[in-house]
C-alpha cells in the first residue's frame, strides 16, 4: 500500500506543470450563468485564443502569473491574472444599454457582404442572433445580384428547443433560390441537429431533409436527404460542408472561415448540377 502511494506521488510530481499547462476555466455573468462564445487570449503566450462553449467553459494553456484577456461583445472586456493552475473563474459585467442575450444559446448578430466569382454577383447578408426577446430563434437573410440575369436569395429560421438531461435540439428551416444563365432552382431544407454538453457529440453532423425544383435543360422536382456539419478548429478556423442526395441530382457545399475576433473572412464553393459558385465573404459582429 505504501509502495502504491509512493508511486502515485511520483506520478503526480511528474505530471505537474513546471511551465504552461492546460487549465480549465469558466466565464460567467453576474448571476453565475456561463457565457458562451467568449474569446480568451493569453497575453503572455503566442498560442491562439480559445472560445467558451455553451456552458461558458474553456481550456487554455497558461501558468501562474500569465495575463488573460476575456472579451464578449455584450460584456465589458476584462483582464485576469492567473493565480493557480486548478481552475479559472471569471465574472463579466454586462455593458449598460445592451439587450441581454440568452447566455446558454448565445449566437452573435452579424452583418456581411460577399462576392460570387462565377456569376459576378455582389450580395449582403445578416442575422438577428439569439436574443432572448426572440426566444432562442435566429433569422438570417441574404441577397446577391449582378444587376442583370443572375441573382440569388437565401433565408433561414433557426430555433433551439430545450430537451431533458442537458440535451437541446436545433431545428432550421431554410429557403434558397437562384437564377443563373437562364436557369433556376428553388431549394427548401429542414435541418435537425442535437446538442449536448458532451464534447464528443460535436462530431455528429446535422440531418437534412430537402426538396428541390431545378429548371434547366430538363425540369427536375425531387425530395432529398443528406448531412451538414461545421467544425471549429482552435485559432479561429471553422470548416463547414454539406451533401444532399436527390433523385437525379447531387448538391454539395464546402467552405472555411477564419475569425480574428473583429471580422469573419470566409470562402465557399457550391455545386448543383450546372450551377457552381465560388464565393468569398466578409462579416462583422454587431451589437443591438
Give yes or no for residue 7 having a pLDDT over 90. Answer: no
| Tens-digit pLDDT profile for residues 159-188 | 988 887 778 899 999 999 999 988 999 999
Give yes or no for residue 15 having a pLDDT over 50. Answer: no
- Which pLDDT belongs to residue 186? 96
| Tens-digit pLDDT profile for residues 180-209 | 988 999 999 999 998 876 767 778 899 999
- Which pLDDT belongs to residue 209? 98
- State mean pLDDT over 9-32: 70
- Which pLDDT belongs to residue 104? 61
- Which pLDDT belongs to residue 133? 53
- State mean pLDDT over 91-111: 74
| Confidence tier at 11 by pLDDT (50, 70, 90) | very low
- Which pLDDT belongs to residue 190? 98
Give dist(CA 9, CA 51) in Å, integer.
Answer: 34
Give yes or no for residue 8 having a pLDDT over 50. Answer: no
- Which pLDDT belongs to residue 120? 96
- Which pLDDT belongs to residue 141? 97
Please name each of the domains of the chain with its CATH number: 21-91 (2.60.40.1120), 109-286 (2.40.160.40)
- Which pLDDT belongs to residue 10? 45
17-26, 108-117, 210-219: the lowest-pLDDT one: 17-26
| Tens-digit pLDDT profile for residues 57-90 | 898 989 899 999 999 878 899 999 998 888 899 9
- Which pLDDT belongs to residue 13? 43
- State mean pLDDT over 42-71: 86
Give yes or no for residue 98 having a pLDDT over 80. Answer: no
What rounded mean pLDDT belongs to the chain? 85
Amino acid at each position: 500500500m505504501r509502495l502504491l502511494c509512493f508511486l502515485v506521488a511520483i506520478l503526480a510530481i511528474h505530471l505537474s506543470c513546471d511551465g504552461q499547462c492546460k487549465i480549465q476555466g469558466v466565464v460567467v455573468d453576474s448571476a453565475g450563468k456561463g457565457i458562451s462564445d467568449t474569446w480568451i487570449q493569453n497575453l503572455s503566450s503566442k498560442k491562439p485564443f480559445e472560445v467558451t462553449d455553451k456552458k461558458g467553459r474553456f481550456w487554455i494553456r497558461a501558468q501562474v502569473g500569465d495575463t488573460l484577456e476575456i472579451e464578449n461583445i455584450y460584456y465589458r472586456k476584462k483582464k485576469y491574472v492567473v493565480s493557480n493552475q486548478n481552475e479559472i473563474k471569471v465574472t463579466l459585467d454586462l455593458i449598460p444599454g445592451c439587450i441581454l442575450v440568452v447566455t446558454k444559446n448565445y449566437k452573435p448578430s452579424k452583418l456581411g457582404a460577399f462576392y460570387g466569382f462565377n456569376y459576378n454577383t455582389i450580395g449582403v447578408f445578416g442575422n438577428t442572433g439569439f436574443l432572448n426577446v426572440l426566444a432562442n430563434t435566429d433569422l438570417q437573410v441574404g441577397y446577391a445580384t449582378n444587376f442583370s440575369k443572375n441573382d440569388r436569395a437565401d433565408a433561414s429560421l433557426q430555433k433551439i428547443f430545450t430537451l431533458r438531461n442537458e440535451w437541446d435540439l436545433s431545428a432550421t428551416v431554410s429557403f434558397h433560390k437562384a437564377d443563373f444563365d437562364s436557369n433556376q432552382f428553388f431549394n427548401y431544407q429542414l435541418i435537425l441537429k442535437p446538442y449536448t454538453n458532451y464534447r464528443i457529440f460535436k462530431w455528429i453532423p446535422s440531418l437534412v431533409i430537402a426538396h428541390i425544383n431545378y429548371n434547366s435543360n430538363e425540369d427536375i422536382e425531387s425530395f432529398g436527404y443528406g448531412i451538414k456539419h461545421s467544425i471549429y478548429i482552435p485559432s479561429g478556423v471553422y470548416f463547414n460542408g454539406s451533401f444532399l442526395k436527390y433523385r437525379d441530382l447531387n448538391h454539395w457545399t464546402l467552405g472555411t472561415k477564419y475569425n480574428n475576433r473583429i471580422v469573419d473572412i470566409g470562402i465557399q464553393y457550391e455545386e448543383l448540377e450546372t450551377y457552381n459558385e465560388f464565393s468569398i465573404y466578409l462579416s462583422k459582429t454587431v451589437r443591438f
